[in-house]
């Protein structure tokens, strides 16, 4: 019952589930697993050893090897009976012309979908949790992590090893310096750094002040 478009190239060891839909001209790399009802747009390239479930992927997607999309998010509730796993019922919805680097994991939504906008580019080894909303034309460098229900506005740029706490947001067009920690909402258009992240000029002033104090203490 799977629908495979004209001109697709499916390499050795690929598994395609029932009612999956693969757009024309798409390439599926060796040993990739595409589970039931997954949809992939035309002219896409899916690397080797990927797993795709509970997701809709737009046209001209480029997924490098070892990408995992649609697995359960990290949802648990403590109770008197122990830890209860919260059901994860949503999907991952990815727009057109998105690139996703090797080893990146994108969790399905718990209720609302996890979404990635058009033309967004994601580097290697990025973790995107359940219900995360990432806009269009967003650039995300390696090893960044997005906790559940965080949001990133259109055109934002996120440096390597940046971490977002749950339910926080980065405004449209904001730039986040590498290794920053986001624990509150950041306004659109600014440049932020540090942990917790602050406007870049304020963060640099704090860094210089701490350096001066440290040198003063050492001299004494």
For residue 167, is the peptide bond before it cis, meaning its omega torsion is within 30 degrees of 0? no
User: What gap in Å lies between CA 24 and CA 28, rounded to an integer?
Assistant: 11
Determine which one of 36, 64, 130, 185 is catalytic. Answer: 130
Q: Which tokens sit at 195? A: 């942990």
Alpha carbon 154 to its chain centroid, in Å, reads: 14
Give how far Cα 204 sits from Cα of 47, 50, 196, Å: 41, 41, 13
User: Is 185 noted as a catalytic residue in this protein?
Assistant: no
What phi, psi does 41 have (nearest 5°)? -70, 170
User: What gap in Å lies between CA 132 and CA 113, rounded to an integer?
Assistant: 8
Residues carrying an active site annotation: 130
């Amino acid at each position: 019952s799977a629908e495979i478009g004209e001109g697709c190239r499916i390499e050795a060891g690929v598994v395609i589930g029932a009612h999956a839909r693969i757009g024309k001209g798409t390439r599926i790399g060796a040993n990739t697993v595409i589970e039931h009802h997954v949809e992939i747009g035309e002219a896409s390239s899916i690397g080797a050893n990927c797993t795709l479930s509970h997701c809709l992927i737009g046209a001209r997607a480029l997924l490098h090897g070892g990408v995992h999309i649609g697995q359960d998010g990290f949802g648990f509730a403590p109770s008197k009976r122990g830890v209860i796993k919260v059901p994860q019922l949503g999907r991952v919805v990815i727009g057109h012309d998105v690139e996703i680097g090797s080893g990146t994991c994108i969790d399905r939504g718990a209720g609302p979908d996890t979404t990635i906008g058009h033309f967004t580019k994601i580097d290697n080894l990025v973790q995107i949790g359940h219900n995360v909303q990432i806009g269009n034309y967003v650039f995300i460098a390696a090893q960044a992590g997005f906790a559940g229900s965080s949001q990133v506005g259109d055109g934002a740029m996120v440096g390597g090893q940046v971490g977002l706490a749950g339910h926080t947001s980065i405004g449209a067009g904001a730039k986040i310096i590498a290794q920053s920690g986001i624990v509150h909402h950041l306004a659109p258009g600014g440049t932020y750094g540090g942990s917790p992240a602050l406007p870049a000029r304020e963060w640099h002033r704090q860094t210089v002040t701490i350096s001066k104090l440290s040198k003063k203490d050492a001299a004494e």
